[in-house]
Amino acid sequence: MHAQLPEMGEALRENPGRSGPKAGTKLRGGYVRVHTGNGKGKTTAALGLGLSAISQGLKVFMVQFLKRPQSSGEHFAAMAVSPLFEMRPMGTGGFILKRQCKAEERAAGQQALEEARHAMFSGDYAMIILDEANVAVDKKIIDLQQLLDLIASKPETVDLVITGRNARSEVMQSADVVVEMKKIKHPFDRGLRARKGIDY
């Protein structure tokens, strides 16, 4: 299933945009972007931004607060285009939306936050994606103030993308771009299960 991904990644690494800049290019004036709401597509939209970035030679770092390694299709896709797109799934794998976090989940969240902070200040990446960081705050995996401090300290040359439902008002007020995904209708409502390769 993933046999062609390495070939695709090699082609992108050798030619990151027909006339685009070389890998390692810096952004001019990065934004803080928030993708929130109860609809599907928040992470997908962030991945789209990342794909656009690496196609122009910009490097992307994505940390996932809830997903465990190799549990979703994007993990294999990111491997194919590494090191242009580095993805760190650091969740423990438990379904947390309807319960409070466990001690090990908070520990993993703190480590994920530190990984993101290190990447953001390394100077290596033009885009940092904090996947499900809003849920991590809502479930006390990380503290709201920790996220706000990270936003406030963002270098000018970095785009910071924060996804997840239940974004706090303070996070949205700190952002340059806020997008709300609103569910109108979805097959999940009819009891249909997620499809491998499309929904995960």
What tens digit of pLDDT does each residue of 43-77 get?
999 999 999 999 999 999 999 999 887 777 788 88
Six-digit token string for 182: 């609103």
Q: Is residue 10 part of a domain?
A: no
Supply the pTM of this predicted model: 0.83
* Domain housing 93: 29-158+195-199
Whose tokens are 């103030």? That residue is 145
pLDDT value at position 18? 43
Q: Is residue 100 part of a domain?
A: yes
Q: Is residue 36 part of a domain?
A: yes
Quote the mean pLDDT of the chain. Answer: 85
CATH number, domain of 133, equals 3.40.50.300
pLDDT value at position 65? 94
Q: Is residue 74 part of a domain?
A: yes
What letters, b where the CB count within 10 A reaches 16 and e where it falls short, cover 140-178?
ebbeeebbbebbeebbeebbbbbbbbebbeebbebbeeb
Q: Is residue 154 part of a domain?
A: yes
Question: Is 74 in a helix, a strand, or coil?
Answer: helix
Q: Which residues contact 131 (CB under 8 A, 6 or more apart)?
A: 43, 46, 62, 63, 64, 65, 66, 67, 163, 164
Sites in the chain below the pLDDT cut of 50? 1, 3, 18-21
Q: How many CB atoms lie under 10 A from the CB of residue 182? A: 8
Domain count, the chain: 1
Q: Is residue 165 part of a domain?
A: no
Q: Is residue 75 part of a domain?
A: yes
Q: Is residue 21 part of a domain?
A: no
